Structure 1
């Protein structure tokens, strides 16, 4: 995953990890995240570490990016050593990974396989904007080892896409999903956003119905978040658009769960629904259940054995570090046992499998009892020792986690 730079301890030039970080390597799932920081245009709501061609500046090009990413894969092999397990999941995110030629993405995947080995049945995902692929590129990706693709659909309504500054036309995401199926992709996801200013309940239903009709086996639906520094935030601050409403977002979530359930999808994480257990995103589950991963690319975050680190943000600085033979890591932190337990609670409570009741601190037991009484927790798994959110609980999950922590 990639996000903004935070304060932390310095990362050694070698990338060497602290004592103890490698001790449990191989006992937890291990994956790679590959950040591709390029976009054709910047969407108005996006604050990810991405760059258009005009924003890149000197010192980096799309054409040279795959070779640079491969160098970080090789660095990862040196740092993790012989204890490194086979890779169970690989996720190419961005940005728009599919702005690079399919051959470049396959080159990075091949390097991961050569250095670490892909586990049998490994899940290999790439994100894609619907307009950044065609049947030929999809066939090349599938033949090159990609098993899953995730399209940024966001909405089926043109006026909603316009507010989000999305460039694809309504209907293109469904067409791209069909092309991916014909290319042999085993798993196809569509991402949706709800709560955009100007969106109505009917607009949202139409988007859900269009996504379901496209035939994916996975749908992600996220409430629009207004991030500081984005064009959307500036437009809202100027009064051009209203601020998204929390109550409206809750209503839209209920609509999503209803329509997706009727279509045969089951929720397994608050914002994610799948047609079957096999269709669940194993890479995201690795994040949510405390696995290890190496994040390749500018701004990418990694986690191994309780040590988290993040790379320098700008692609030029990232490329320069690797060209000099040193780690692109900007800073890192070693999580305490308390930190790790808090993160486990925050993430696992969002899952349909829930969080073990036995791990709840004694001081938080009254909060748990109150949540059960208020109908936020499912009583049946609770009897078996697990806290699993009800539908109402999913709507209030953030507040419940705050109370528990």
Structure 2
């Protein structure tokens, strides 16, 4: 079920934005659809997800219609904030969106299309567990307008999957990729490294297996131990060891070497693609700070500098919408300094980097030292951009601290 929602100002029941918040029609607009259902809870997961025994009155078979109700409410809210923008990207995340019938996902996308429109050539992504994506599902998604699937492979090693509480058969990753390819969909594979008991050779095997499937995009995330998760409790009680930072660094360097050799370019600290056209446009919009509306329980939104987030539990979410109310729980408007710091944090992670002019005070004076330490590219800095070296990617948090003092 994830951690608690952030604090903020109360959101009004009608969902209307403050009168001085206006949407810029010249900026991209993304749509995120959160499907919070999972068959089992992975031991490392801190996302807002629910198994069947945790729904307490919410019904999966009613979810698509409930979310479509929120989409229609959003259309009315956006009318008061300026002209509606068509969605340039749509992303179904979770949870496991493909636990729902593909026809339900199609209806949710149709609701977005009817209320906002979807631009021609938009990127439309669905996250999928390997066990839930077959030829029929992939064909239905493609027919609905989905263009891309992100498959949760995580590892090729059964013992690593077991530590993570992943239940899929590793062999089904290839089956899912083939189904997506057969339907004409782009494919991304998600990997996790640094699980307790995972060796460097285990990780090499996972990378080589992923590369052999020739996806368009690969994400590789270091395992983070989140408070409140099963894995955190296991580590605290001594049942499994804490991930080793030095080993995780070796794993990252191995990933960067193998993926580069296979033709994948890094474009964000944890993401590689076969050329610019296969980068995740939806996630890049987050890192660049553009607008998006998040639909579903616990989803977050950002429009015109205002942020808000929905109630977390699917039952509370459904109850509010049934009563004709917005599911937004609270909202905030970060000040200029907070937005600047966040821009440095996010934009420094991507290949294009951020302008040196965005860094102020002591942070600007730290640039020369960061170049000398091999953390940012000297040539790019001379041209006015701050771009991380590979060593800088490994120490990205330290770079951000130096730039934001």
Q: TM-score, normalization: structure 1?
A: 0.97
Query: CA separation of 1:234/1:98 partners in 2, compared to 1, >3 Å: closer, same or farther?
Result: same
Query: 2 CA distance for matches of 1:125 and 1:169?
Result: 23
CA positional deviation for 1:3? 7.0
- Does residue 380 of the first structure (1) align with residue 375 of the second (2)? no
Kindly provide the CA deviation profile for residues 176-196 of structure 1, in whole angstroms up to 9, marking residues without a partner as x.
Answer: 1121001110x2100000000
Counterpart in the other structure of 1:216: 215
Counterpart in the other structure of 1:202: 201
Counterpart in the other structure of 1:70: 68
Whether contact under 8 Å (1:218, 1:272) holds in the other structure is yes
Whether contact under 8 Å (1:346, 1:401) holds in the other structure is yes
CA positional deviation for 1:57? 1.0
Aligned residue runs from structure 1 range 95-106, under 5 A: 95-106=95-106
Query: 1 CA distance for matches of 2:43 and 2:376?
Result: 37
Counterpart in the other structure of 1:367: 366
Kindly provide the CA deviation profile for residues 165-217 of structure 1, in whole angstroms up to 9, marking residues without a partner as x.
Answer: 000112211221121001110x2100000000100111000000001111101
Give the secondary-structure state (helix, strand or coil) at the position aligned to 1:51. coil
Give the secondary-structure state (helix, strand or coil) at the position aligned to 2:60. coil
Query: 1 CA distance for matches of 2:146 and 2:297?
Result: 22
Aligned residue runs from structure 1 range 2-401, under 5 A: 4-22=4-22, 24-58=23-57, 60-81=58-79, 83-185=83-185, 187-401=186-400
Which 5+ residue runs of structure 1 have no aligned equivalent? Answer: none
Give the secondary-structure state (helix, strand or coil) at the position aligned to 2:170. coil
CA positional deviation for 1:234? 1.0
Query: 1 CA distance for matches of 2:363 and 2:236?
Result: 39
CA positional deviation for 1:4? 4.1
CA positional deviation for 1:403? 2.2
Whether contact under 8 Å (1:220, 1:273) holds in the other structure is yes
Whether contact under 8 Å (1:3, 1:301) holds in the other structure is no
Query: 2 CA distance for matches of 1:168 and 1:300?
Result: 26
Give the secondary-structure state (helix, strand or coil) at the position aligned to 2:10. coil
Whether contact under 8 Å (1:96, 1:128) holds in the other structure is yes
Query: 1 CA distance for matches of 2:179 and 2:377?
Result: 40
CA positional deviation for 1:381? 1.2
Query: 2 CA distance for matches of 1:92 and 1:386?
Result: 33
CA positional deviation for 1:251? 0.6
The aligned length equals 401
CA positional deviation for 1:364? 1.4
Kindly provide the CA deviation profile for residues 293-327 of structure 1, in whole angstroms up to 9, marking residues without a partner as x.
Answer: 11000000000011010000000000000001110
Query: 1 CA distance for matches of 2:165 and 2:181?
Result: 27
Which 5+ residue runs of structure 2 have no aligned equivalent? Answer: none
Whether contact under 8 Å (1:218, 1:274) holds in the other structure is yes
Whether contact under 8 Å (1:49, 1:313) holds in the other structure is yes
Query: 2 CA distance for matches of 1:4 and 1:149?
Result: 29
Q: TM-score, normalization: structure 2?
A: 0.97
Query: 2 CA distance for matches of 1:150 and 1:377?
Result: 30
RMSD over aligned Cα, in angstroms?
1.1
Give the secondary-structure state (helix, strand or coil) at the position aligned to 1:153. strand
Query: 2 CA distance for matches of 1:362 and 1:332?
Result: 30
Q: Give 4+ residue runs of structure 1 displaced > 2 Å after superposition.
A: none
Whether contact under 8 Å (2:133, 2:179) holds in the other structure is no
